[in-house]
Structure 1
Amino acid sequence: MMDIFPLEPQWVWLILAAILGTAEIIMPGFFLLWIGGAALLTGIATLIFGLNEPAQFAAFAVLAIVAVFAGRRWFALNPIESADPLLNDRTARLVGEIVTAVEPFESGIGRVRVGDGVWSAKGGDFAQGARLRVTGVDRGILLVEPIA
């Protein structure tokens, strides 16, 4: 492989690390960062120890696996806090909202107006126009109770 490139092997690994680091910046996902780190360490090891090609690829493979697992563990122990953790959970965002029954509830099931939409809901038996509070969600159906 290294005969194809006019550069010494360590420089190929270091350039690969720079390319992967740049790709991580352009399209972040925190995956290429770890592979780039493995390429960087492989380049440094090749520079210091003069590794032959099979040893370079073996070192890169081992370092890439270790780096990915170390990165996953680090993110598991240090999760990124979101400013809005319910951003993509539309139904969970409705918990605590005041809604209006658009039809009488029969056997504890009916429909409520939420903003400009209508959602299925369950709770007690309520009359049309009753003001209710959303207390939870069960598979996309709002759980409601009367406002106390």
Structure 2
Amino acid sequence: MGTLEPGWWWIIGGLALLIGEIVAPGIFLLFIGAAAVLTGLFVLLLGLGLAPALALFAIYTALAVYAGRKVYANRPVAASAKHLNDRAAQLVGRGAVVVRAVDSHDGRVRLGDSEWSARGGPAAEGERVEIIGVEGNCLIVEAAPKLAQ
């Protein structure tokens, strides 16, 4: 059983880093793995020694990270995703049903399969309300617009 050429070790290491990116996504291993694979290809093609291979790897890594930062830094968040990590803000605009009469101080509403504290309204038990805001874990509601008959 023979030993592998150094270029293959670079490629195997690069592939391991790319697999690591899939297992634990963080974007950063992607660039280092790509640089290692590219270095391995050049080492195989040109028969480079260790010092030139390390220098080439350092250059490729810097270029890959620079290019990756340029690509990922210019990705605006879509307007529909502006509350992606603010679950309470995602409730604004949704409808709910009053479980206990809602006034400016107190009340409860059912939203989906859970009940929430609410205030605003006024709205009687069984009426539909629309969520217009959230303060802590209390929904701010107003009477839902009536549908034309």
TM-score (ref. length: structure 1): 0.65
- Larger displacement relative to structure 2 (125-134 or 34-43): 125-134
Q: Deviations over 1:86-127 (max 9, x none)?
A: 787644443333212222335344321112310122324444
Among 3, 10, 26, the alignment partner of 1:13 is 10
- CA deviation map 1:30-52 (0-9, x unaligned): 44332221102222343455544
TM-score normalized with structure 2 length: 0.65
- Cα RMSD between the aligned structures? 3.6
Q: Which amino acid aligns with 2:107?
A: G
Unaligned ranges ≥5, structure 1: none
Q: For structure 2, which runs of at least 5 residues remain unmatched after alignment?
A: none
Total equivalences in the alignment: 141
Q: 1:16 to 1:94 in 2, by over 3 A?
A: same
Tell me what 2:57 maps to.
60
Corresponding residue for 2:23? 27
2:94 equivalent to 1:97: yes
Pick which of 108-117 and 35-44 moved more.
108-117
Distance of aligned partners of 1:143 and 1:69 in 2 relative to their CA distance in 1, 3 Å threshold: farther
% same residue: 43
2:77, 2:33 → 1: CA distance?
Answer: 21
Which residue matches 1:142?
A: 139
- Residue among 129, 132, 141 paired with 1:132: 129
Measure, in 2, the Cα distance between the counterparts of 1:73 and 1:122: 46
